[in-house]
Chain A
Amino acid sequence: MGDILNVSGLVTQLRNGARIVDDISFSIKAGETYALLGESGCGKSMTALSLLRLLPDGVVRTSGKAQLDGVDMFDLHEREMRAVRGGTAAMIFQEPGLSLNPVMTVGAQIAEVLELHQGMRGALVRQRSVELLGKVGIPDAARRVTEYPLQLSGGMKQRVMIAMALAGQPKLLIADEPTTALDVTTQAQVLQLLRDTQSANGMSLLLITHDLGVVAEMAHQVGVMYAGQIVEQASRTQLLARPLHPYTQKLIAALPDQRRRNQPLAAIPGSVPPLGSVMQGCRFAARCDQAWSLCSEKMPDWAILDNGQGVRCHLYQDRGTLTGEKVNALKGQDDATSDSTPHRESIILQVSDLRVHFPIRTGILQRVVGQVKAVDGVSLDIPQGRTLALVGESGCGKTTLGKALLQLIPPTAGHVQFSGHELIGLAGGELRTKRAAMQMVFQDPYASLNPKMRVAEILEEGMTALNIERDSAARQAHIDTLLDQVGLAHSFKWRYPHEFSGGQRQRIAIARALAVSPQLLICDEPTSALDVSVQAQILNLLKSLQEKLNLSYLFITHNLAVVEYLAHEVCVMYLGRIVERGTAAEVLGMPRHPYTQALLSAVPRIAGQGVERIRLEGDLPSPANPPQGCHFAPRCAHTKDICRAGYPPATKLSSTHIVHCYLYGEG
């Protein structure tokens, strides 16, 4: 089959001349998936927008050719181009919530595409819209057509976006991070849907992603982008088996994984150079540990090896000779070493039957008509110096739980005992001192630092509030130690947060928490806003801090790979309750609860080909109106009658492994 899209020498520049997409060439065969892989700020989205000629103001495509289905897109008149967009080539975006118009019904938005690109009218449009929604797996499509986007969940919205894209019967679908904003189980659904439609329609897919797991699952061909250039291009199997470019090698090695538990991750120092900075030589040279003088002087040429794998690196300039020691950082990994014997340390945090309910009020008199049971009877213990991971999809109440532990949200009932003191019911100064040794690290490093305060002031705040180091010189010395601990230079003290990259900001946030010498850190998705290479830096930092300071972590996350790497114990949360808990090896190695099993199998993995998937149907039910009996019953493959009757009691599988499921009960 021929190429559906052929891009050669594409250059896109900022007005000031900086090349943010620099000489990109690739082609996509009909019915194939080409993945553009790279961290944020590498120019992936700009490449896609250049192709569709949708570049924002101040960014212009200056040279290059792009042939879509034999037509040169850059020669088309803007009017003809409009027929291409949504017609021959459709695009879906990262944030489904933002790409649907909230004041138009779903049907009207699909109809728009149909009328424009298919010339359909009247009843035919409606019929086709329902058909399309059914095709993307939306149940009860006839009713859903008349609904507004806010009535749909995130996964449904992304399905609607796909239905809209399919409405024009495109030959090429450009998907810009289509699953990044979705949960793992929903992500698995959407990826499966993309694969299905691709095989049904013979459509080509240009997939833009930063997630190697998604690439491993979806792509036929992969282009790795770094700072505006494609640094490596190969088929998926080639790339994963033998990554050539040091960046690709590092990217793969930086993924957290169970096998790497007892060793630091191969973090890439620094971060992606900002778009638009003018660069000389190889763009990765500053972060590359195999760089030599030539790398910073001369930009490496594009070299194609004998096996068809292309790479832009000085290591391979002498065509085709692959020397063993240069490649594959993946080899030589230790096998999973079993966890060291369970610590018998003192329990630092003991939570029993914690509940956080939010009343739903309506009417003028604010009558309470129901309760949103965000956290509904959670019990857990965290020993000193250990990491407990709290895993669950968004909306299951894990963040609420974290905040309720700190008493930032007042719990409705239950007990929180922190190093022997009951926190619930305390107020004012007493709460302040008792809680001091428990601190939180937040998800978004851009929102968690006050933009108007300098780093030193940020670090000082907790000390002032808790009266630590009253003497100003001692305080400054303490700040210096903190900066040392998180690996930042002392000179950063007097700068404002916006001058730092995401990873550096997260380090500052960690330092802020450390300032009051806590024993327990509640980390709420601390790496989910960061790139893979930076995530590895932060995980390494957290791990070394735990060893040095004997810290305990409550690690709230949806990223199972991180859990595998970091956690000693795991709690899986579903709809406000913990459904399974145990040591990391038990829960992740032998998941018992059907939900845990589904969650684990939904994670896209590099080496996970051929693993049978458990597909979860539907979405997380509303915590205001949980299903009768076992909360998971409506989505579970093993539902029995008893499951709908009552919530399953805890079943002890071993001294540490507990599961709430009738499958393992006495009956």
Chain B
Amino acid sequence: MSFMPVILWSDALVFLLLLSGIACAWYVRRHEHLLLPWRRVAQSATAMVSLLVLSLFLLAGLLDTLHYQVALPEKNGGETVYSPEVLSVFDKLLTPLRTHTEKTYSAPLAVTLYTKESISDVHGNVLREYPRLRYGGAQLADIQQQGNDVLRRGLSGALAGLAAGLLIALGARRRLAKRGWPLRALLIATLLISAIIGMFIDLATSYHVLGTDKVGQDVLYLSLKSIRTGLIIGTVTTLVTLPLALLLGIAAGYFRGWIDDVIQYIYTVLSSIPSVLLIAAAVLMMQVTIDTHPQWFNNSASRADLRLVFLCLILGVTSWTGLCRLLRGETLKLREMEYIQAAQSFGVSSLRILTRHIMPNVMHIVLISLVMDFSALVLAEAVLSYVGVGVDPSMISFGTMINAARLEMGREPMVWWALASAFGFMLVLVLAANLFADAVRDAFDPRLNRTEVAA
């Protein structure tokens, strides 16, 4: 076998999330009344367009989750030896981006480096000049042609993308129309997105579309790789936060008395400790543990990955208090509602009241604050990376990108593209998530969705 699949801890969690997502979808599909609100989601143009964008991000993240090790050509006594480098399917697809590293900074679509260097020419004279890039625009004989070449490739790529988008749209149109999905919005979005992707692909084969960073890595590659880290921090942390906040919050609000006191003390204490301090302490302790047990890991990727998972856990433990407080307050209000008292007088058990009556009625708060937290978490990761307790420095993330670009904002001429790309990708991701969550919330609010006018 020329490769061996590797499943890292975070991969396992992602697969778990994916499986539970599929199971939920399967369950919903079989129940008409549960399917109904999702049908309404499907009819909203904003929701579907943001879902389209979101699913592209998810696709990138998932492809990046399928890890493997390549077999090395030489064998060790008949046993296949695998490369210590762990790659993902996404890496494989982006091989040119990954391998085409320059010497140092270069601007987007540039053909030369960003800084002058001393070059000795054929005659032995030393000149201060912008040296040509090793890969970016290497096919050009003359730098002057760069403008025309970029335009030509951009246009042809966009046209190819458009054509592909049209094919997809034509193929899917019938099925979409049959279900009453917003055809025009989806069509426009598909064409636009495929044109942009086509343009990027065509340009990326011979240029660094978003420039390169300090060590010459392609910024587009870094941004694409950061997606997985961002998604994992956003979702796995939520996985930790949600049960804590939801259970403790509604239990505190519903039971009152000593349960409320205990839970309130816990989260008051927890939120009065500066969270960065707590995280820093926990991460540093873990770092020491990892460093003293090198035998646990057979490659650097699994070390970095464990650190990521641990960071998610620690972020989750420190960030559930806000949502918990919110849910406690809402539950305090809900428990006085008469339908709760009606249920109590039937003798419905407390657990059932919590799950059947209170939980569905706080879900809108949960959904909105989770999506809000998602962007906050991605940003928190950047802050923590700055302090030095974020993800492993070898792991590519928006945080490390921003952190690396931070210092370069002050120099003249400014290196802006790394920060701008991280910003742009995060913006699109968080905005799409926000818009989608908003549409979902609206679709699930029965007050906004009358199935029929009451008789």
**Chain A interface residues toward B at CB < 8 A:** 403, 406, 408, 429, 431-433, 435-436, 438-440, 442-444, 447-454, 458, 461-462, 464-466, 489, 494-501, 504, 509, 512-513, 516
The verdict on A452 contacting B342 (CB below 8 Å), with A461-B348, A466-B347, A498-B446 known, is no
Q: Which of A435, A451, A501 contacts B345 (CB 8 A)?
A: A435
- B346 contacts the other chain (CB 8 A): yes
Q: In the complex, A516→B339 CA distance in Å?
A: 16
CB-CB under 8 A from A513, the residues of chain B are 342
- Say whether A447 contacts B337, CB under 8 Å: yes
CB-CB under 8 A from B360, the residues of chain A are 450, 452-453
The verdict on A499 contacting B454 (CB below 8 Å), with A440-B342, A443-B338, A447-B338 known, is yes
- Say whether A447 contacts B339, CB under 8 Å: yes
B348 closest partner in A (C-beta)? A465
B342 closest partner in A (C-beta)? A448
Of the A-B pairs whose beta carbons lie under 8 Å apart in the complex, a sample of 19, sorted by A's number, is: A432-B347, A433-B347, A435-B345, A439-B346, A447-B337, A448-B338, A452-B446, A454-B33, A461-B343, A461-B348, A461-B356, A462-B348, A465-B348, A465-B349, A465-B352, A466-B347, A498-B450, A499-B453, A499-B454
0/1 string, B325-349, CB within 8 A of A gives 1: 0000000000001110111111111
| Least distance between B217 CB and chain A CB atoms (Å) | 50
CB-CB under 8 A from A435, the residues of chain B are 345, 347
Q: In the complex, A450→B33 CA distance in Å?
A: 16
Q: In the complex, A443→B453 CA distance in Å?
A: 24
| Least distance between A109 CB and chain B CB atoms (Å) | 29
B334 closest partner in A (C-beta)? A450
0/1 string, B260-284, CB within 8 A of A gives 1: 0000000000000000000000000
- Say whether A451 contacts B447, CB under 8 Å: yes
CB-CB under 8 A from A433, the residues of chain B are 347
- Say whether B452 contacts A452, CB under 8 Å: no
Q: Which of B337, B346, B450, B454 contacts A465 (CB 8 A)?
A: B346
Q: Which of B337, B338, B346, B455 contacts A461 (CB 8 A)?
A: B346
CB-CB under 8 A from A495, the residues of chain B are 451-452, 454
Q: In the complex, A421→B337 CA distance in Å?
A: 29
- Say whether A504 contacts B454, CB under 8 Å: yes
- B361 contacts the other chain (CB 8 A): yes
Q: Which of A406, A438, A499 contacts B450 (CB 8 A)?
A: A499
Q: In the complex, A447→B455 CA distance in Å?
A: 21
Further pairs besides A435-B347, A461-B343: 7, Cβ < 8 Å? A448-B339, A448-B342, A451-B446, A465-B346, A465-B352, A497-B446, A509-B342
- Say whether A499 contacts B452, CB under 8 Å: yes
- Say whether A439 contacts B345, CB under 8 Å: yes
Q: In the complex, A501→B338 CA distance in Å?
A: 17
- B441 contacts the other chain (CB 8 A): no
- Say whether A449 contacts B339, CB under 8 Å: yes
The verdict on A403 contacting B346 (CB below 8 Å), with A489-B455, A494-B33, A495-B451 known, is no
B343 closest partner in A (C-beta)? A461
CB-CB under 8 A from B337, the residues of chain A are 447-448
The 9 closest A-B pairs by CB, nearest first: A432-B347, A448-B338, A452-B360, A442-B338, A462-B346, A496-B446, A465-B348, A450-B339, A465-B346
- Say whether A408 contacts B347, CB under 8 Å: no
Q: In the complex, A464→B338 CA distance in Å?
A: 19
Q: In the complex, A620→B450 CA distance in Å?
A: 43
Q: In the complex, A465→B450 CA distance in Å?
A: 29
CB-CB under 8 A from A443, the residues of chain B are 338
- B132 contacts the other chain (CB 8 A): no
B453 closest partner in A (C-beta)? A499
0/1 string, B48-66, CB within 8 A of A gives 1: 0000000000000000000
- Say whether A498 contacts B339, CB under 8 Å: no
CB-CB under 8 A from B361, the residues of chain A are 450-452
Q: In the complex, A453→B356 CA distance in Å?
A: 8
- Say whether A444 contacts B338, CB under 8 Å: yes
The verdict on A406 contacting B342 (CB below 8 Å), with A451-B446, A453-B356 known, is no
| Least distance between A601 CB and chain B CB atoms (Å) | 32
B340 closest partner in A (C-beta)? A450
Q: In the complex, A408→B343 CA distance in Å?
A: 10
B445 closest partner in A (C-beta)? A451
Q: In the complex, A509→B339 CA distance in Å?
A: 9
CB-CB under 8 A from B356, the residues of chain A are 450, 453, 461
- Say whether B338 contacts A408, CB under 8 Å: no
- Say whether B347 contacts A440, CB under 8 Å: no
- B214 contacts the other chain (CB 8 A): no
CB-CB under 8 A from A461, the residues of chain B are 343, 346, 348, 356
CB-CB under 8 A from A512, the residues of chain B are 342
| Least distance between B427 CB and chain A CB atoms (Å) | 32
Q: In the complex, A498→B445 CA distance in Å?
A: 10
CB-CB under 8 A from B348, the residues of chain A are 461-462, 464-465
Q: In the complex, A489→B361 CA distance in Å?
A: 27
| Least distance between B25 CB and chain A CB atoms (Å) | 20
- B357 contacts the other chain (CB 8 A): yes
CB-CB under 8 A from A403, the residues of chain B are 341
CB-CB under 8 A from A439, the residues of chain B are 345-346
| Least distance between A115 CB and chain B CB atoms (Å) | 38
8 A Cβ contacts from B406-455 to A: 446-447, 450-455
| Least distance between A270 CB and chain B CB atoms (Å) | 9
A515 closest partner in B (C-beta)? B346
| Least distance between B245 CB and chain A CB atoms (Å) | 19
CB-CB under 8 A from B342, the residues of chain A are 440, 442, 448, 509, 512-513
- Say whether A408 contacts B446, CB under 8 Å: no
- Say whether B451 contacts A499, CB under 8 Å: yes
- Say whether B345 contacts A406, CB under 8 Å: yes
Q: In the complex, A516→B346 CA distance in Å?
A: 8
The residue among B339, B349, B352, B453 with the most chain A CB atoms within 10 A of its own CB is: B339
Q: Which of A431, A442, A452, A498 contacts B347 (CB 8 A)?
A: A431
Q: In the complex, A66→B101 CA distance in Å?
A: 79
| Least distance between B348 CB and chain A CB atoms (Å) | 4
CB-CB under 8 A from B343, the residues of chain A are 461, 465
CB-CB under 8 A from A444, the residues of chain B are 338
- Say whether A442 contacts B451, CB under 8 Å: no
CB-CB under 8 A from B450, the residues of chain A are 498-499
CB-CB under 8 A from B352, the residues of chain A are 465
- Say whether B447 contacts A498, CB under 8 Å: yes
- Say whether A465 contacts B447, CB under 8 Å: no
0/1 string, B309-339, CB within 8 A of A gives 1: 0000000000000000000000000000111
CB-CB under 8 A from B349, the residues of chain A are 465
CB-CB under 8 A from B455, the residues of chain A are 489
Q: In the complex, A444→B447 CA distance in Å?
A: 17
A501 closest partner in B (C-beta)? B454
B357 closest partner in A (C-beta)? A450
